[in-house]
Amino acid sequence: MVGSEEVGATKPEWTLVWDNRFREYAFGPDHPFTEESRWLAVRLMEAEGLFAHGAPRSGALVHTVPVATRGELERFHEVSYLDLVEQASHIRQSFPLDQGDTPSFLGCYEAAARIARGTITAADSVFDGPPRAFNPGGGLHHAHADRASGFCIFNDLGITIATQLRTAGRRVAYIDIDAHHGDGVMYGFYEEGRVLDIDFHQDGRTLFPGTGAVEETGRGDGTGLKINVPLPPGAGDDAFRALFRRIVPPMLRSFRPDLLLLQNGVDAHVDDGLAGLALTPASYSEVVTSLRALAHELCHGRLVVTGGGGYTAANVSRVLARVGRVLSGEEIDPSERKELPRSWRTEFESTLGSSAPLEWLDSGMPTRSARAPSWTHMLIGEIEEALGRPLPEETNDS
């Protein structure tokens, strides 16, 4: 493993992949996407002692990540697009790499390619190291083979899936809980029978990129393996968790993956600034806890998690740090009202120039689940109709 370091007294259960140069993926101070909030998540994990020497659940760290090679990037991206980004990367003047949201910047090729290598490394590490791995800087799911999109220059997830398929012949189950549809990943493997793609997102009729309708279920070998779960604006924990529980465990059990890959975007959070969904931290903890158990049941514990969207630093940093805690093996109490470390709050404020949150969970955040709204049953019916078959049966332990 490149640049890795085992810091625990016992064998680590998970690996964090984070190179401080991921922060060079920066579109400028006025752009909504920033790796600074992902970096603050890493700092919060460190402040919580998740890598402390001798700590019971101490993780392994990969802190030196090289830039992905051309050959690695070409597993997913077209040569002409890579040439374009490389040229733009040498020019100080910024120009749009897509319709306008994703501008070039000096060094953008190397910055995006390093994050891509981070996710490749995370996936490799679960086969020759601890079973779980996390790249909070990754999750750039909108980039297509031939173009940038939605703040995403290179699709680290697509490149990683292609690497797992083509160099190792592995079956990958990809789960995406970002508020936006993971179009780059889904279309990149739309005809691929070794990739199960389950994507929860705000309905494309109300949010970028507009895709991810129930009817998009895959083609050719991929038929029936792309499952889109479009949620109406305002949907929250009750709907999301009921749908997740009904769809994800049985689909994973029937697919039998070699690896689970989760894009853990945080922009479906109730307080996010860009999207209109209403998840609370309890949903995020449940997803990772559930996938941790399913990975253990189905594929020797192999679970890789990336970050993704998320435009409110206080939420992105806390939710992603909690993901790290779950990956470390901790059982999270969803109503936990623990205070955040003072040193971390100071760092947050000096980095972002805004007030840091006081506790892991904001007061007033609902933590109890009510009944799922009735539209979730209709949505399951629509998904089954689009698939042309019923979803596999649930089992009691999911």
Task: Report the alpha-carbon distance of residue 339 to residue 359 in Å, rounded.
Answer: 4
CB-hemisphere CA count at 13 Å for 59?
31
Window contacting Zn ion (CB under 5 A); options: 15-23, 127-135, 171-179, 383-391:
171-179
Binding range to Zn ion, per CB under 5 A, among 170-178, 190-198, 219-227, 294-302: 170-178
In the bound state, the residue with its beta carbon closest to Zn ion is 309
How many whole angstroms separate alpha carbon 363 and alpha carbon 345? 17
Question: Which residues between 105 and 164 bind Zn ion (CB under 5 A)?
Answer: none
Instruction: For the CB of residue 143, give the shortest distance to Zn ion in the complex, in Å.
Output: 13
- When asked if residue 35 is in the footprint of Zn ion (CB under 5 A), the reply is no
Among 180, 181, 194, 318, binds Zn ion (CB under 5 A): 180
Q: Residue 266: which of 362, 358, 114, 136 has the closest Cα?
A: 136
User: Looking at beta carbons only, is 126 or 288 nearer to Zn ion?
Assistant: 288
User: Which residue from 129, 182, 309, 334 is in contact with Zn ion, where contact means CB under 5 A?
Assistant: 309
Q: Which residues are catalytic?
A: 142
Q: Which is nearer to Zn ion, 14 or 33 (CB)?
A: 33
Question: Please, which of residues 244-283 interact with Zn ion by CB under 5 A?
Answer: 265, 267
In the complex with Zn ion, which residue's Cβ is closer, 129 or 182?
182
Of the pair 150, 222, the CB lying nearest Zn ion is at: 150
Q: Which is nearer to Zn ion, 124 or 267 (CB)?
A: 267
Considering the rule CB under 5 A, would residue 324 count as an interface residue with Zn ion?
A: no
Residues of this chain that bind Zn ion (CB under 5 A): 178-180, 265, 267, 309
